[in-house]
C-alpha cells in the first residue's frame, strides 16, 4: 500500500513538469515530508474549462487524500479510501465512476514503506524499518490516482465551499526483485501516457492498466529514521538516510 509520501515540489515546478495549462491553487502549498491521509495534496487532471465548452485543459488543483465517492452520505469515508487496487478499481462501486472519467496524477517526491526485519537475537522483538523510495535524480513521481467531487448537501451548489475534491492512489503487486519491502506499491504514469491517462472520458480498462508501471522499478531505496512514524513530524530530516547498522541505500530494478 501507500500510506505516506513526500511532496516538496512547488506548484510552479509541477506546472512545468506536467505541462499544466491552469494552476488552481489559491493558498501557499508548503513542502510536506510526511503526507498522510486526509491531508491536502496537489493533483494534475484534465478538465473542460467553463469558458471553453468542449475544450480540454490540464489543471493543477488541491485535493484531499482519501476519496469520497459522489454518492457517499458522510465524507468521513475518505479516511479509509486512500489506496485502490488497480486490479479491481474499474469495477468497485467506490472507484468505478472515477476510474472511467476522473483519472489524475498525484506528483510525489517519493513515498515511504515499512518492513519488519527478523529479530536480531533469540526472543528479541523485531521493529519495522521505514524506507524512503524515490528517484535518484530527485524528479517527481507521477503517481497514478483517481479523483472525485463530493457536494455538501447542507450548502448550495454555487457555494465554492460545497464541493470537496478528494483523491486515491492506485496500487499494484510490488515487483522488487532485490528484496521486497511491501507486497503493494503505487503505480506510475509514464510521460508518454499522460494524455491517455488524464483524458476525461472512458478508455479501455485493460489498456489503461497496461500503461502503468510499479513505483519500484529504477527507484532508490533509503532506510530512514523512525521519526516518520509520527505524522506530527515533518521536515527534510525524515528523508535523510540513517547511518549505522541499517542496510545501505540500494536501487530496485
Q: How many CB atoms lie within 10 A of CB 138?
A: 11
Give burial (CB, 10 Å; 0-12/13-18/19+) of 42: buried
Active-site residue (options: 104, 113, 148, 167): 113
In the chain, domain spans: 5-111+140-216
- Residue 62 CA to residue 141 CA, distance in Å, equals 17
pLDDT of residue 250: 55
Q: Each residue of 161-216: pLDDT tens digit?
A: 778 999 999 999 987 543 457 789 999 999 999 999 999 999 899 999 999 999 99
Q: Each residue of 210-219: pLDDT tens digit?
A: 999 999 988 9
Place of cell 472512458: 202
| 185 closest CA partner among 194, 196, 195, 176 | 176
Place of cell 486515491: 168
| 167 closest CA partner among 95, 234, 85 | 95
Q: Which CATH superfamily is domain 5-111+140-216 in?
A: SOS response associated peptidase-like (3.90.1680.10)
What is the DSSP track for 15-30?
HHHTT-SEEE--S---
Annotation marks residue 113 as catalytic: yes
Annotation marks residue 104 as catalytic: no
Beta-sheet strands, E only, within 116-196:
129-134, 141-151, 163-173, 184-188
Amino acid at each position: 500500500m501507500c500510506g505516506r509520501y513526500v511532496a516538496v515540489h512547488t506548484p510552479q515546478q509541477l506546472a512545468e513538469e506536467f505541462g499544466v495549462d491552469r494552476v488552481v491553487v489559491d493558498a501557499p502549498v508548503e513542502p510536506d515530508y510526511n503526507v498522510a491521509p486526509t491531508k491536502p495534496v496537489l493533483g494534475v487532471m484534465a478538465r473542460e474549462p467553463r469558458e471553453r465548452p468542449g475544450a480540454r485543459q490540464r489543471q493543477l488543483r488541491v485535493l484531499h487524500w482519501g476519496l469520497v465517492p459522489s454518492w457517499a452520505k458522510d465524507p468521513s469515508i475518505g479516511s479509509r479510501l486512500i489506496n485502490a487496487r488497480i486490479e479491481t478499481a474499474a469495477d468497485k462501486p467506490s472507484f468505478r465512476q472515477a476510474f472511467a472519467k476522473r483519472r489524475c496524477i498525484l506528483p510525489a517526491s517519493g513515498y515511504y514503506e515499512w518492513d519488519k526485519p527478523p529479530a536480531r537475537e533469540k526472543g528479541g522483538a523485531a521493529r519495522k524499518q521505514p524506507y524512503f523510495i524515490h528517484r535518484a535524480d530527485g524528479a517527481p513521481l507521477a503517481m497514478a490516482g483517481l479523483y472525485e467531487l463530493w457536494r455538501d448537501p447542507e450548502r448550495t451548489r454555487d457555494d465554492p465551499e460545497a464541493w470537496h475534491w478528494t483523491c486515491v492512489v492506485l496500487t499494484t503487486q510490488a515487483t522488487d526483485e532485490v528484496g521486497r519491502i511491501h507486497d503493494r506499491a503505487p503505480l506510475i504514469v509514464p510521460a508518454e501516457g499522460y494524455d491517455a491517462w488524464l483524458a476525461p472520458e472512458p478508455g479501455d480498462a485493460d489498456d489503461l492498466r497496461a500503461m502503468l508501471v510499479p513505483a519500484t522499478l529504477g527507484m532508490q531505496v533509503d532506510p530512514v529514521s523512525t521519526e516518520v512514524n509520527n505524522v506530527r513530524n515533518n521536515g527534510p530530516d525524515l528523508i535523510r538516510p540513517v547511518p549505522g547498522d541499517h542496510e545501505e541505500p540500494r536501487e530496485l530494478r
